[in-house]
Structure 1
Amino acid sequence: MLELLKDRTYIRYWLSVVSSFLGDAITKITLIYVVATETGNPVLYVSLVVIAQLLPSGVLGAFVGPLADRIPARLLMVGSDLIRAVLALAMITVRDQPLLLLVLVLLSGVGKAVFETARITAIPLVVRGHSIPTAVALFQSTNHTLNLVGPALGGLLLAIGSVTAVFVIDAATFVISAVLLGSMAVLREVPVPGPDSGRESYWRSLRTGIGGVLAVPSLRFLAVVLVPVMLALGLFTTNLNSQLLAVFDLKPLDFGLSQAAFGAGSIAGALTGPPMVRRFSDRKLLIGSIVLFGVSLLLLDPTGRLRDSLGVSVVLVWCLVAGLGSGLFQVPVANTLLSDLPEALRGRGVGLLNALMVNFTILGVVLGGVAADLIGIAHSIILTGALLLPAAALLALHSLRGARRAGTAAGPATADSEVAR
């Protein structure tokens, strides 16, 4: 990781992403504050803001992929940042008009969908000569840190300044990101085209990209893995705050410490991922991280029983372990995606699998609310953990059978290669 941090190209790229991510985090908390305090139906509009921020990545993610395979990442990322800067400033004028504000939020979400696809696609260009898992871990840990710091900073800015000032600062973070990215020559490279890409229409390129991605065994396995895990993460995300506030009845300070513990666990999981990727295969680490996350959800039951005698410390430990499992899972996912995707399909593969992750996370959020109403908040979390473990066992069995079939068909050398994946 120290070698990456000494690379000036990577540092410039990392700082640009930090600035853009920080703008996203500040925007999120500011928009929630605005609709919660300046509309007649805060519950409805807060929900609509969250959906408007997530929906474009789920709906449009796969459709951005062909563009990322044809257009330099620099153009897509800089354009996305500048458009979002303009939208942030436009939000100042419509802050008291919730419907127009939601339209701007939705358009900003479209910009983020484009930015994220191009950002992930560009990572192999930026980290040439360095370890992709290490770069992924640094990005993931940075993202988790900003998810903690960003809302707190946004809240502080709202407390000492004004909503208008926060939107201006938000726009400035996107401009800073655009300037840094625009100065990077490596991002000006045109993506390597496939043999027929010059003659393909957009829609044919999209279809062939999806087929090409799913033709890679490790990526097909990854797509299957993402379905149950993203559902579980969505459900857990929905019910975590309710569990801490409504069930454990934590005081504000303890609630903040619990959120920090979960964030610290996520950061630790991301940072321990690279050495584990070098020791284990991506597939083994994927399955192991699912087991860890599932077990952490099951541990909610003894956590609830021990809380009365041990106090909030046991809740902090539980949040730390849950964060560790969720953070660790993301490293082999990103490493498999970036390492195994053919270069000509990288944009389409990133867009497709990112859309898969977002859509099933949203579905998990919806199911989380339904499950909490039907069986209770704690029981819904524990049940999710109980369902993840047999899912992980089935995935492990499927992987083992695939390795044995490969060994039977092509001999020991091929079998060893399949097991390594």
Structure 2
Amino acid sequence: MRELLRDKVYLRYWLAVVISFLGDGIVKVTVIYVAADVTDSPALFIAAVVIAQLLPSGVLGAFIGPLVDRMSPRLLLVGADIARMVVVLAMIFAVNSAWLLLLLIFLEGLGKAVFETARMAAIPKVVGQHSIPAAIALFQSTVQALNLAGPLLGGFLILVAGVKLSFVVNAASFVVSALLLGSIAVLKTATVTASGPGQYWSSLHTGVTGVLGIRSLRLVAWAMVPVMLAIGLFTTNVNTQLLAGFDLPAFEFGLAQAMLGGGAVIGAFLGPTLVRRVSLTGLLAGAVALFAVSLLVLWPIDDRWPGSGLAVVCSWCALAGLAMSLVQVPVANILLRDLPEELRGRGIALLNAVMINFSIVGVLVGGVVANAVGAAASIILTGLLLLPPAVVLMVRSRHERRPAQAADTEVGALR
């Protein structure tokens, strides 16, 4: 990963994404802070903000793919940053209207959906095929760190400068990102040169059939349905478990949350080494199994709390964060390895839409299940539901290795 950061082109690309992600974190925490003053139901509004940011990627994500394949990545990335700058500046005049803020956060989420799809599709253009695992690992570890730093920076800006200036700084971050991305010449060319408005729907249809025609991508799409449901359920109920189930005070709750993020960072850094040593399907199977185990071990921990101690709870959080992060490593590598260049934007957008939609379903279902059986029981049941897909993936990974082993045997016999 150090070699990537020595590359001046990649360094500009990486810095632009870091600054853009910081902007996303600042706007999210600022809108949530404003919501506490302009609504009578801040908890409900916070949930609506989270869904409004995710909904564009889920509902509209698949329709972004043809644009990514047919247009310059530089144009899309810079355009998404500039559009979000305008949206964020508009929030300054909407601080007294919860519904207008919600609409603007939806538009900001739409800009992020375009940015994210174009960003991931552009990785091979910037780093080349041989450096994809290292680039993915660096971005995942960076994103996990920014998930902590963005809200912290947003809260600090609100404290020292106020809400309106926080929005101004946020808008400026998108401008800096746009300037950095606009200076990268390798992002100028589009993947597909086909043109004409009448070809959009044909391009969308070709993308769907093309992606589903690739066996490894069908497997990823199928496997990620229960995994994203589980992640949504866990994300919804882990805070309830920490605060109500374990009854953690503020500092210990923050420590447990930090351990979730720390585990995720470790998982991202382990990614390149594991990709080199384990097949991608085998790594996905192992990561899903580890995630299932991390949820199931809550059973003895919850029964023995507080006798098990804070260290055990923090270790559990770190294990869950590690497992969730490791799941993303093989998925991203399979996408960028097996998607043909002409389908890359549509494939990433389609599979990303599938994952986000089921994550949203998991978030919504998680609250209902927790109310019915309790947060701890819902997390443990989620772990049980992940065991069958983990077993199927393990069996599939063994079948994938057999042809390669047979080929090696035949070569040895010929010698």
TM range (shorter): over 0.9
Between 184-193 and 224-233, report the one with greater CA deviation: 184-193
In 2, the alpha carbon distance for the partners of 1:365 and 1:132 equals 31
Cα distance in 2 for residues equivalent to 1:201 and 1:39: 45
Is contact 1:88–1:171 with CA below 8 Å preserved after alignment?
A: yes
Q: Which residue of 2 aligns with 1:413?
A: 407
| Between 321-330 and 121-130, the greater mean CA deviation after superposition | 121-130
> 1:111 is matched by which residue type in structure 2?
G
Aligned partner of 1:276 in structure 2 is 274
Tell me the residue number matched to 1:388.
386
Letter in 2 for 1:158: I
Q: Name the structure 1 match of 2:148.
A: 148
Q: Spell out the pairing of 1:17-416 with structure 2 (5 A cutoff).
A: 17-128=17-128, 130-193=130-193, 201-400=199-398, 412-413=406-407
User: What is the rounded CA distance, in whole Å, between the counterparts of 2:196 and 2:344 in structure 1?
Assistant: 16
Tell me if the contact between 1:197 and 1:205 (Cα under 8 Å) persists in the aligned partners.
no
- Separation (CA, whole Å) in 2 of partners of 1:306 and 1:389: 24
Give the 3-state SS of the residue equivalent to 2:122 in structure 1. Answer: helix
**Following the alignment from structure 1 to structure 2, what is the Cα–Cα distance between the partners of residues 71 and 179?**
18
Residues 161, 317 of structure 1: CA spacing in aligned structure 2 closer, same or farther, 3 A cutoff? same
Q: CA deviation at 1:199?
A: 9.8
Question: Cα gap change, 1:371/1:73 in structure 2, threshold over 3 Å: closer, same or farther?
Answer: same
Question: How big is the shift at 1:37?
Answer: 2.1
In 2: Cα distance, 1:132 partner to 1:12 partner: 17
Over 3 Å counting, the alpha-carbon distance change for 1:254 and 1:87 in structure 2 is same
Aligned residue for 2:413? none
Preserved CA contact (<8 Å) 1:64 1:114: yes
Verify the 8 A CA contact 2:88 2:167 in the aligned structure 1: yes
Shift of 1:95: 1.0
The CA distance in 2 between the partners of 1:413 and 1:361, in whole Å, is 40
2:305 is paired with a residue of what secondary structure? Answer: helix
Deviations 1:136-187 (A, max 9, x none): 0100010000001111121122222200011111101111100000011011
- For residues 311 and 24 of structure 1, the distance between their equivalents in structure 2, rounded to whole angstroms, comes to 36
Alignment deviations for residues 388-408 of structure 1 (CA, whole Å, 9 cap, x no partner): 11221123334545777xx5x
In 2, Cα distance between the equivalents of 1:110 and 1:259?
Answer: 28
Amino acid at match of 1:269: G
Paired letter, 2:47: S
In structure 2, the residue matched to 1:419 is: none
Q: CA separation of 1:197/1:225 partners in 2, compared to 1, >3 Å: closer, same or farther?
A: farther
The answer (yes or no) to whether the contact 2:286–2:394 under 8 Å persists in 1 is no
The 8 Å contact of residues 281 and 393 in structure 2, kept in 1 or not, is answered as: no
Deviation at 1:217, TM superposition (A): 1.1
Distance 1:414 1:227, change over 3 A: farther
Gaps spanning 5+ residues in structure 2: where? Answer: 411-415
TM-score normalised according to structure 2 size = 0.95
The one-character-per-residue Cα deviations of 1:227-252 (angstroms, maximum 9, x if unpaired) are 01000000000011111111111111
Structure 1: which amino acid aligns with 2:59? V
**What CA deviation, in whole Å up to 9, does each residue of 1:39-98 have, x standing for no partner?**
223233222211111100101110000000000100001000001011101001011011
Distance (whole Å) between structure 2 residues aligned to residue 68 and residue 308 of structure 1: 51
Does the 8 A contact of 2:25 with 2:147 survive in 1?
A: yes
Is the contact made by 1:39 and 1:96 (CA closer than 8 Å) also made in structure 2?
no
Partners of 2:376 and 2:237 in 1: CA distance? 8
Distance 1:58 1:199 in 2: 24
Mapped contact 2:264–2:323 kept (Cα < 8 A): yes
For the residues of structure 1 that align with 2:272 and 2:378, how far apart are their CA atoms? Answer: 32
8 Å CA contact 1:121, 1:350 repeated in 2: yes
Per the alignment, do residues 403 and 41 of structure 1 end up closer, same or farther by CA in structure 2, a change over 3 Å counting?
same
Regions of 4+ moved over 4 Å: 196-200, 398-404
% same residue: 57
Alignment partners' CA distance in 2, 1:7 and 1:369: 46
Is the 1:4–1:130 Cα contact (8 Å) retained in structure 2? no
Q: TM-score, normalised by structure 1?
A: 0.93
Residue type of the partner of 1:413? A
Listed one character per residue, the Cα deviations across residues 284-332 of structure 1 (whole Å, up to 9, x for unaligned) are 0000000011100011112223432242111111001101101111111
Within 2, Cα distance between the matches of 1:179 and 1:319?
Answer: 38
Q: Is the 8 A contact 1:306 1:314 kept in 2?
A: no
Cα separation, partners in 2 of 1:64 and 1:302, compared to 1, 3 Å: same
1:367-409 CA distance string (max 9 Å, x none): 11111011110000011011111221123334545777xx5xx
